[in-house]
Every structure is written in structure tokens, then in C-alpha cells.
Structure 1
Amino acid sequence: EGTLKRKVSTSNSNIFTETSKLTNKKRRYCEDYLAFGFTSNGNEDAPGAQCVVCNKILSNSCLVPAKLRRHFETNHPEYKDKDISFFKQKLESLEKSKLFMSKIAKSDNENATEASYKVSYRILLAEEAHTIGESLIKPCAKDIVMCMLDQKSSKKVEAVPLSNNTVTRRIHDLAAIFRLHLCDAYALQLDESTDVAGLAVLLVFVRYDFNSSIEEDLLLCEFLQTNTTGENIFNCINNFMKTHQISWEKCVDVCSDGAKAMVGTVAGAVTQIKNVAPNCTSSHCILHRHTLVVKNISPSLKNVLDEAIQIINYIKTQPLQSRLFKIMCEDMGSQHTALLLHTEVRWLSRGKVLVRLFELRHELSANLMDHKFQLSDRLTDFLWLSRVAYLADIFTKLNEVNLSLQGKNVNIFNAKDKILSLSRKLQFWISSVGRNDLDCLPMLNDFLEENGYKLDEDIRSDIADHLRDLYTNIIKYFPNINDNNNWIQNPLSLTEKPVSFSTQDYENLIEIASDGQLIQKFKEVSLITFWSDLCQ
């Protein structure tokens, strides 16, 4: 019996030993695992498995083809048909990121360094002075942590480096990450203008694809010391590109305001960029084109606009008049107590200025009653007020379109849809004014009904002419509003081969339109995400 127990004990011991050996078995990484989207991570003797798509790290025991394939097919089914070159590209991007992070995380306190970078990034986004980190943000953080946690935790906040020089270095380091993202393609937008100090400032914005979305950042802000010629603008940008080793070959488009210094056929900045960037196209800023559409108005309406600005300036440029006008508005229970100044370079200014003037017309008339101001009678002139009401209406509508064209999430297709909508609305407004139906101009319509008047025929003619001029300008500045790129917005709608397509291109598009999985993805994700993932 004793011998039997010893045999059983020895047998059990052997079983546990073998199990322990199996459990502690160290698996090796195989290069073939990259086909499942995994690279090695950590110790070479017992490496982990890191996914190059989502960066998730699995333990050494998961270095088995079945487990790697299960992770890949469960979490990234959209990439299952990708070849090995796709994963090599992802691996290269991951290694670049690791290399950069290893350079910036050499501090003894990695958490403090990480916090320093995150705060510096927020200071950059808020466009605040770099000194705000140490003078305001750190003291506030310490107070919050001390109140919510304890004094010991508050002392940890003190270790976060946020001095002026540190924040500046952090921002320059973060720019290195940004430059890594310019690896495939990017587009530039140029703008040169003179500020209130008389300095010529060149701004260059960049858009690029990152993580299936379009990112936009300020690439360059420099003063032009002498002339603002196309050559000087190009040299400034080109020097920046060379200094930071950004390739021109990856530039796919340059957008500008259409000024001669920008688009001149010989020495324009855009022309010189296209000479060094063989794959680059050029475009005229849609916001600037929209501004050109609304810029020109008839002499009669322009005279009304000028007189309205003179009335506003008479009040706003005199501090005493501004204070007295404010007191009068408060006594009369007005919704507003101040007028708005008009600024020509601010495109949305006209609409807001005229709406405020029209809303305060009664207060202005009472205020200017005892003044020897030559335009005081305009505020009681029915015809003049009718024109002001129309201008306030139309500029408000145009401002709404302008605002809808702005923002990082707006693409060329959204913008063209908005412009097409505006052109159709203008046609409707022209026909409505012709029928003397003024519901489309609410401020003018309410003004006429309030006073029991009908619209003067001369004013109606001026309004119709102005609306027709706006429609003509849209056709002039947006000639390709109905182009043949609708297949990008909806690849399923294309039924015949476009002229610009090769046979191979059209066959590839047919495959996309016939793939059920891609069709479902097209319905679920944004347009940018769909095409960005497809290109990868």
C-alpha cells in the first residue's frame, strides 16, 4: 500500500511538472505572423505580439497562428483581404512612432513628461502664451488635486515641467509627429495679408490623411521682410520644406485666393510650386470665390450701404454719443444697446451691421433728432429704409452660406452642394420678387406690412437686378459646379464609364460597386473614412 501511494504521488508530481513546463513554454516570434497583422514586442526570448493596426499587445502565449488570426478576423475584418505590403506599411509607421516616443520619454518621471506634452498641446490649440502653463495651469491643477484628492497627489503635479522654454520645446517635438504624418500626400492652402501693424504675414495651412480622417494644421506663419511677390512667397515656403525635409513630390494640391502674386503664370507662387511638385494641382479658395460673388452691388444699393456706415460711424466714433445712445436704448427697453462697426476685410460684417442698424432705427432716429447730422432724415425715409431692410435680408442669407462653407469637416463636395443650393435659391428669389411675393425676404416683408405700404417699383427693380447679378456671378466664379465627380459621393450610382476613366479604372469601380461588404461599409461610415480605408 505504501509503495502504491509513492507511485501515485510520483505520477502526480510528474504530471504537474510536465504541465508547468507547458505553461512556462516560451514561444518565438515568426516573421510569417505579419500576415496576421502582428509584430514582436518586448523581450526577444519571450516576446509579446503587437497588432500593427490597433497597437494592442498580446502575451507570449498568444504567439499561435490560430489566436492571432482570431484577433485579426474579430477586430479587423475589413483588412482581411490586404496583402503583406499593407501590413509592412503599418509596421513602418508603428516603428517610427515608437522611435519618436522613445526620444521624448527619457525623463525619470514618464507620467510627468506625458502630462507636460499633453498640456503643451492644449496650449498650442488654444493659441495662448507659453507662459500660461506655469503661471496659471499648474497652480489651478494643484488646487483642484488638493481639494479633490490629497496634498501628496498635489505634490506630484508640481513635478510636471511647464516652464515657458519647456512648453516651446514640447510644441517643437510635437511638430515632429506631425511631420511623420506627411508620409503619403498633403495639400496646402496659402494666404498672405497685411496686419494692423503693417507687417506682411504669410500663413500656410496643410491638410493630410491620418487615421482615416482629414487633419488640418497650421504649417507655417512667417513675416515677409520685403516685397510680397510670388518669388518671395515661394522661397519662404520652399526654405521651410527643405529645413524640415518635407518632400514636394507628395504635395497634391495648392489652394490660394487667386491674387496675381499667387497664381501668376510665370512668377506666381502657385506656379513655382507646381514646377517642383509634379503631381500638384491648383484651386481657387471657395470662400474667397463666394466673397467675390457678393462683393459687387448696384450704385443705388452701394450708396445706401455707404450712408448706413456713415450713420454708424457718427455714433461709434464719438465716445460721448455712444454712451448717450446706450442710455437711451436702455430707457426705451431696446433689445440691443450698441451699434456694430463695419470692417471691409471681415466678410460677414455687412449683414450683422445692417441688421443691428435696422433693429435700432427708431432709437437712432430719436437720438439724432436734435443733431445737425446730414443723414438724420434717412432714418425716417421709407424708401431708404426699404433698401436697408433688403440688404440686411440678403446679406444675412449670404452669411449663412459662408458659415456653412467653413470648418474642418467640410469637403469640396459639401461646398459645391451649398453653392448649388444657393444658385437654385437665387432663381427662386428672382421669380418670387417678380411676383411681388416677399416672404423670402422676412425683414423687408415685415417692414412693409408694419407700415401698410407696398414695395416701390424702382426698389423692386433694384432688388431683382441685384439678385440676377448674384446668380450671374455664381455661374462666373463656379463654372464647374456640376462636374462629373458624383461617383466619388456615390460609387453605386455610376452606370457608364466616364470619359476621364481608363478601362481598368472603370472595372475597379465596378468591383467596388458590386462588393456587398463595401456597400454596407459605405452606408455606415463617412465619405472620407470610406475612401481613405479603401486607398490603404
Structure 2
Amino acid sequence: MTEKKRKLDHRPFQDNWTIEYGFVEQKDRAVCAFCCESVVCRTSSVQRHFQTKHQSKFKTSEEKGEAIKKAISGFKKQTVILSQAVGMKSKATECSYKIAQCVALNGKPFTDGEYIKEAFLSGAEVLFRDLKNKDIILSRIREIPVSARSVERRISDLAENVTTKQTTGLKQSLVFSVALDESTDVNDASRLAVVARYLENNHIYEELCCLLPLHDTTKAEDIVCAFTGYFSKQDINLNKLFCVTTDGAAAMVGKKKGFVKLLENHVGRKLLSFHCIIHQEGLCAKTSSLDLVSVMKTVVEIINFLISRSSLVHRQFKSLLQEVECEYGDLLLYNNVRWLSRGKVLARFVCCLEAIKMFLDEKQKRFPQLNDESWLLKLMFMTDINTHLNELNLKLQGQGQTVLDLFSYWKAFTMKLDIFTRDINIKAFKYFPNVKNHANQFEVNTDELQEYVKALKAEFEKRSQDFYIHGSLFSYLIKPDMLDLTNAQLELFSWMDIDDFEMQQIEFRSSEIWTLKFAELRKSLEDENFEKSGAILNCWISLPSSFICLKKIAFALLSAFGSTYSCEQIFSHMKAVLSPRRSRLTPEHSENCVKLKVTKYVPDIEELAKTMQGQGSH
């Protein structure tokens, strides 16, 4: 009986029901144009409904025909009006998604949605004043739902959509690597930033996977638990993980119980790991003798007196700088955490040195070091060497750089230190302009300066052992035909099914076409403005599938991070979003805002709006 009834319910709609009984088809049902009731598509049901509810109203067949035509016409008009209303609601919803995206991209509070709408309406009143349909335009703007709650939900939907795309990309990718770092937000909550780099649709993506709160301690066990928990929740296979880059903290790189070691135990094999090269450069920059450390201490003491001790003193000092037409209008406060702070503080201090001396004399504030030739020499040297260190730091910064690029900058600077030592030894001071100006006025003793540069070079060589060990391996990206198989470290890639690597490598070396292609690649990379990682990737993608083992290794090497720059950038965005004025934001909301701010993916706003029931502004 049930199967028979189901078959009857799915009978096709018959056109004569419209003429004889005033019924129209709507979603596999027959709908009466007179009362809008629906019945199953069956002649007996349609006929029974019309005869019992509407037949008695008509005396003649002509009157019945006219009434049916009028009812059908009215029903169609009503349907059109309803569909237009639904369409307008859907557009208003889509617009609210766009506004929410702007709020997130600019790190603004959720309540700014109402402010944007108010500005929109105020501007529209003037902009569309001469249009006949101005009232329609304004009414549509008023329909946009942008309350704080609506904006919060929209941002959550957009972030979830981006997360879905990231997860799909990681699942489809052959290999991926991660960079992770831990910091503290404005609420003293520890947050773990995890950034992944992977290949999807012939593009390299560098995406924030998560910004996880660590509610208790931040030991290696806590970090690995949060890390593996996220990837398990997203059903991403950690066996495809190739390289892990951290800030080098003990909890991250401990030999027995560090995060990397525990993660290797979880994955079941050796992982390539790096200590962030920018952090290592910062540690090298702190290398100094006790005398040179005292120089920075005195500089900070003078700057604090001029800027922080008294507002009156600070105003008077700035007025003096303006009077003497100094290049800078003020000094900078020193921040030991910021990478470039030391070099910038010293450069500005030296530039304003004469004005500083004059002002301190007026205030009868004595700093005998400012008249000490030996101390001034150390000041000038510290300024010049930190200028060089800052130049290196800026080169190491930026997203999308390969380990090959970063290590090239590092090696180049290490070799420059030999030139600096020779320059100081012969007292030419070609690369130390401030020292040269000082030497033109006073006799200089360069022994301590040479010792400093030698100690700095030793520190650079000691702190980059992991890059020196694997440096030749990353040269494979642009010199695959020159790879030394005896030092290829193929055990790092054994899990990627590369059993035929040696055979394919021989075939590749024997192919003049492909070896020439990489020679052309190396030539194009000489252009500093060339997008290197993209060019390298495109070159490897162009190789035929017969070299699949070689391509797998190249894709793995391209995914590796050389620094945690992306994580540091994430924390900067987090502190802008989760500021003291917005400290009530939950970890989930702040993560959503930051994720939308940094992602390369474009959320499917139109599709999201279609899944929502259109509701106007209340």
C-alpha cells in the first residue's frame, strides 16, 4: 500500500488542471490559485478540492473561466513579488558578509558594522539625491543586517569557509611543512601560532592553520598535544609533514623532551627541523664585549632622560632639534625585543649627537662619556655594525622565501665580515662611515673593533650549523643535475616513495633539454626583482611525470620554512585585533579575525549568502 501511494504522489502535473480547476505546479505539488492550498498531483484530488471549495461560487462556465484566469494572473504576480523580496533579502545578506569581511580585514570591532551602515546611508542621501529611485536605494541599504551579533556570525562563517579550503589543500597536497611559535596575548593567555606551507593547484600557499590557546603550562607536551589535536580534528595526515621550524626555545628543540622530538615520536620518523634564522641573527647581534655593552647602556640612559623622565624636558629637547634643523625631530626609545631597534636607535642618536651635547650642557646633566674619544669610537662602530646587521635582518624578513634564499643571505654576510675585518685593520673604514668621520678628527685604536668582528663571525658560523648541514641539499632546487648522491640525505624523503630516484636522476642528468632549462632558471634568478619561489616551482612543475621522484623532493624542499617570520607577523596582527580595548574577544573570535586578515584564500561569500535565510535589519 505504501509503495502504491508513493507512486501516486509523484504523478506529473497536467496542463488541463490549470484551465479547468485553476491549479499551478509548484515543487511537484498542485497549488490552487484561489486559496493557495496544495494537493498531490492526482486528478481526483485536484477535482475534489475545486468542487468542494470553489465550484459553488460560479453560476456559469464563462464566469468560472474568467475567475480562473484572474486567480492564475494574481497568483503569478504574487509569486514574482515574493521571489523579488527573497532576492533582495539574499542580496542584503551577501552585502552583510562583505561588510563583515571589511571589518575583519581592517581589525575593527564588530560594532563598526552599524557605523559603516550609518556612513553608507549618510553618503547615499547626497550621492543619489537626483535619482528617481533614491528611496528604493536607501531602503535596500537599511535592509542590510550589520548588528554586532550579525557581524560576529558572518566573520565566523567566513573563517570557517577559509579553514575548509585550507584543510582541503593540506589533504590534497603531497607534502607540507609548518612554522610555529608561542606568544602571550593581552589577557596573558598563551597562544600557539601554526603556519603551514604547501602546494595546491600549482601555487605555494602559506596559511595560518590555527592560533590555539594554551590554557595551562606551555611545556613541550602541551604544545604537541594542541598541535596534533588540531590536525587530528581536521583529519589531516601528519605523515605528510616534512619540516618543522621553531623559535629555538628549549620547549621546542629539547633533545629528549622537546616539541620536535615528541612530534617525531608521534609521526614515527625523523623530521627536518630548523631554528628560525632571524632569531639566530638577533642572538648574534647581541654578541659584544663588556665595553661595547656599556656603550649601549649609556645611550639608553641618555635617551630615557631626554624622553621619558619629564614631559617638559622632552618638549624642550624637540624644540632644540627643530631650531638647529636636525635631520630628525626626536629620538627613539630602545626596545630590546624588536629586531631593528638597536640599529635605528643608535643611528638617530649619532645623527643628533651635537644637539644632545648642547642640550645636556644647558641642563647641567653630565655624561663624561660624550667627550671621551675612546667611548665615541665605540659608539660610532656600534652604529655602523648594527646598520649592517639591520640590512641583513630586513633581507631575512618576508613571506614566501625559501631556505635557499635565506641561507644565501646568511653566507654572504658571513663572508662580508672578513672584508669588514680587513677594512678595520688597514683603517680605511670604507664600510664604517661614522667611524671614518671620527677617525678624521681623532687617533683611533682598532684592536677591540677587530676582536668584535671576529667574535661576531664565530657566532654566525656556530649558530647556523643546521643550515650548513642541509644547505647543499636545498641547492638541489636550482641545481638538480649537480646533486652529490653520496651526501643527498635521501633518508629524509624515504617515506615519499622515491625508490626510483637514482635512476631518474641519471636520466635527468643525461637530458640536455632539462639541464638547460635549469641553467636558464638560474640566470633568471639573478634579477633581484624576480619572484624566486614561484619561478622555481613553475620550473619543477614543467618536468614530465617520468621525473616524479625528483619532483617530490623538490616540492618538499620548497615547503620548508627557514624562519618563523609568518608567526611573528601573526602575533602582530593578534595584538592589533586583541587590544586592551577589545580584551573581551574570545580566542576563537580573535583567531577568526586574524585568519581572514592574512589568508590568500577568497571566501565564497555568494555561496554562504545562499545558504542563509535572508533577514533584513531589525
Normalised by the length of structure 1, the TM-score is: 0.71
What per-residue deviation string (whole Å, max 9, x for no partner) do you get for residues 41-96 of structure 1?
Answer: xxxxxxxxxxxxxxxxxxxxxxxxxxxxxxxxxxxxxxxxxxxxxxxxxxxxxxxx
What is the SS of the residue equivalent to 1:182? helix
What per-residue deviation string (whole Å, max 9, x for no partner) do you get for residues 171-215 of structure 1?
Answer: 222222222111123222121234566443322222222332322
In structure 2, do the counterparts of structure 1 residues 156 and 210 end up closer, same or farther at CA, with 3 Å as the change threshold?
Answer: farther
Give 1:373-412 correspondences, 5 Å limit.
373-375=365-367, 377-412=368-403
Shifted more, 479-488 versus 113-122: the winner is 113-122
Name the Cα RMSD after superposition.
3.2
Partner of 2:462: 476
Q: CA deviation at 1:531?
A: 3.0
**Is structure 2 residue 498 aligned with structure 1 residue 508?**
no
**Is structure 2 residue 345 aligned with structure 1 residue 348?**
no
**How many angstroms apart in 1 are the aligned matches of 2:397 and 2:124?**
37
Partner of 1:245: 235
**Is structure 2 residue 208 aligned with structure 1 residue 218?**
yes
**How many angstroms apart in 2 are the aligned matches of 1:532 and 1:156?**
48
Count of residue pairs the alignment pairs up: 425
**How many angstroms apart in 1 are the aligned matches of 2:121 and 2:456?**
53
Partner of 2:579: none
Q: CA deviation at 1:111?
A: 6.0
Partner of 2:226: 236
Partner of 1:21: none
Give 1:130-529 correspondences, 5 Å limit.
130-136=110-116, 139-140=119-120, 143=123, 147=127, 151=134, 162=146, 163-165=150-152, 166-183=154-171, 184=173, 185-194=175-184, 198-278=188-268, 280-318=271-309, 319-375=311-367, 377-449=368-440, 452-454=441-443, 456-457=444-445, 460-479=446-465, 480-481=467-468, 483-485=471-473, 487-491=475-479, 493-494=481-482, 497-500=485-488, 504-512=500-508, 514=511, 516=513, 519-520=516-517, 523=521, 526-529=535-538
**How many angstroms apart in 2 are the aligned matches of 1:481 and 1:142?**
62
Determine if contact 2:414/2:460 at 8 Å carries over to the other structure. Answer: yes
Partner of 2:609: none
Q: CA deviation at 1:392?
A: 1.0
Mind listing any 5+ residue stretches in structure 1 that lack a counterpart? 1-105
Which residue identity does 2:513 align to in structure 1?
G
Determine if contact 2:404/2:475 at 8 Å carries over to the other structure. Answer: no
What per-residue deviation string (whole Å, max 9, x for no partner) do you get for residues 28-48 of structure 1?
Answer: xxxxxxxxxxxxxxxxxxxxx
What percentage of aligned pairs have identical amino acids?
A: 24
Determine if contact 2:421/2:450 at 8 Å carries over to the other structure. Answer: yes
Q: CA deviation at 1:400?
A: 1.0
Which residue identity does 2:192 align to in structure 1?
L
**How many angstroms apart in 1 are the aligned matches of 2:428 and 2:540?**
45
Q: CA deviation at 1:397?
A: 0.9
Which residue identity does 1:339 align to in structure 2?
L
Determine if contact 1:116/1:167 at 8 Å carries over to the other structure. Answer: no
In structure 2, do the counterparts of structure 1 residues 496 and 349 end up closer, same or farther at CA, with 3 Å as the change threshold?
Answer: closer
Q: CA deviation at 1:271?
A: 1.8
Determine if contact 1:249/1:276 at 8 Å carries over to the other structure. Answer: no
Q: CA deviation at 1:325?
A: 0.7
Partner of 1:61: none
In structure 2, do the counterparts of structure 1 residues 220 and 138 end up closer, same or farther at CA, with 3 Å as the change threshold?
Answer: farther
Determine if contact 2:206/2:400 at 8 Å carries over to the other structure. Answer: no
Larger Rg: 2
Q: CA deviation at 1:240?
A: 2.5
Determine if contact 1:213/1:532 at 8 Å carries over to the other structure. Answer: no
Normalised by the length of structure 2, the TM-score is: 0.62
Determine if contact 1:113/1:161 at 8 Å carries over to the other structure. Answer: yes
What per-residue deviation string (whole Å, max 9, x for no partner) do you get for residues 135-177 of structure 1?
Answer: 3378459848974996466766666655422223222222222
In structure 2, do the counterparts of structure 1 residues 192 and 147 end up closer, same or farther at CA, with 3 Å as the change threshold?
Answer: same
**How many angstroms apart in 2 are the aligned matches of 1:155 and 1:517?**
63
Which residue identity does 1:505 align to in structure 2?
F
**How many angstroms apart in 2 are the aligned matches of 1:382 and 1:144?**
67
**How many angstroms apart in 2 are the aligned matches of 1:122 and 1:527?**
34
Partner of 2:109: 129
Determine if contact 1:365/1:380 at 8 Å carries over to the other structure. Answer: no
Mind listing any 5+ residue stretches in structure 2 that lack a counterpart? 1-85, 491-497, 525-533, 544-550, 553-618
What per-residue deviation string (whole Å, max 9, x for no partner) do you get for residues 459-495 of structure 1?
Answer: x111111111111011101124373226523236517
What per-residue deviation string (whole Å, max 9, x for no partner) do you get for residues 302-359 of structure 1?
Answer: 0111111111111121222111111111122112121111111112110001111111
Determine if contact 1:309/1:342 at 8 Å carries over to the other structure. Answer: yes
Q: CA deviation at 1:516?
A: 2.9
**How many angstroms apart in 1 are the aligned matches of 2:475 and 2:285?**
31
